[in-house]
Amino acid sequence: MIDSELRRAYERIQSEATQMAGGLTDLAQRAAVYHQLFHVTRGNHLFPVIAAHGALWARRYFAVGLRLAKVLSLQYAARPAVRQSQLEAVARFADTLRDINRRVCIDTYTNYHFVARYGDHSAVADYMGPELLEALRKVHAAARARRRLTDSEKRDVFQSHFLHEQRTIVGSTIVRAVADLDWPLVKWIALKPAIRFAYFPNGNRLWFQNFVDQDERVRNGMKAFEFAIDAGEERLTSSLRTYQTLPNQFFVSPERHYAALHAKLIATS
């Protein structure tokens, strides 16, 4: 396969990934896509299922945050134009965070399937970097051998993927989004989220002092991974019910739910 053919193959997979990831508010759809990637790797690739929890947790976070912003905007009650402008800025900030999750889903789906089909091509590393390519090759090799990776190997895979997304999508986007949020009180709150995914042990949260700080995001991301290892594959799936967002048929059979979703979305496209 020549490089131009490889580029077209990548773009075809990326186009399908874009359909599967849906729009900004299609969080349940993305969670199902993320979970399927976790399932087909026999639980070896934990980044997607943790991202599924992130997508569903964010639904309530955005809802609460926007309600809080409306209350706080009363400080501008005497200046309705300013109040409206600030609320629109918060809505744009929330949409930027939703878009990060959407873009990460597209990237995760694309890279996984691209490596599955063309992982031995000499130019594949140009699309994702050698570290992520090696991690995904390890995941696919384990799946072919029907082998469970060790916890240490899973950690290496997760870290490679997490750092890739931070470098290519998350970091610079968050920096710009926070810089554009010209509302000191809301910005202060936005920079200090306390994240609790459904599979975390009781009382545990990921606390942030400055969400823009990539090192802090990485440290907390690795904590989320360790909690996931302790939780186990079954709880990582069953606890998705806690968010009350995925339909019941997902929990009856995640595979059939995904297959129907895939058939519907790809047929529509």
pLDDT at 61: 86
- Does a structural domain hold residue 3? no
**Count of structural domains within the chain:** 1
108, burial (CB in 10 Å: exposed 0-12, middle 13-18, buried 19+): buried
- Does a structural domain hold residue 155? yes
Q: What is the pLDDT along the chain (269 residues), one digit of tens a residue?
A: 678 899 999 999 999 999 999 999 999 999 999 999 999 999 999 999 999 999 999 988 888 888 999 999 999 999 999 999 999 999 999 999 999 999 999 999 999 999 999 999 989 999 999 999 999 999 999 999 999 999 999 999 999 999 999 999 999 999 999 988 889 989 999 899 999 999 999 989 999 999 999 999 999 999 999 999 999 999 999 999 999 999 999 999 999 999 999 999 987 66
Backbone angles phi, psi at 206, to 5 degrees: -100, 110
pLDDT at 266: 87
Using DSSP's 3-state secondary structure scheme, residue 206 falls into strand
* Among candidate residues 113, 117, 128, the one with its CA nearest the CA of residue 18: 113
- Does a structural domain hold residue 1? no
pLDDT at 60: 87
b (16+ CB within 10 A) / e for 63-90: eebeeebeebbeebeeeeeebeebbebb
**Average per-residue pLDDT for the chain:** 94
b (16+ CB within 10 A) / e for 213-236: ebeebeebbebbbebbeebebeeb
pLDDT at 203: 85
pLDDT at 1: 67
**Boundaries of domain holding 248:** 9-268
pLDDT at 269: 60
Residue 129: how many CB atoms within 10 A of its CB? 16
- Does a structural domain hold residue 15? yes
pLDDT at 65: 87
Cα maximum dimension of the chain? 67
Measured distance CA(1)–CA(123) in Å, rounded: 10
pLDDT at 229: 97
137, burial (CB in 10 Å: exposed 0-12, middle 13-18, buried 19+): middle
Dump pLDDT digits (tens) for 131-171. Answer: 999 999 999 999 999 999 999 999 999 999 999 999 999 99
- Does a structural domain hold residue 4? no
Provide the 8-state DSSP code for 145. T
- Does a structural domain hold residue 117? yes
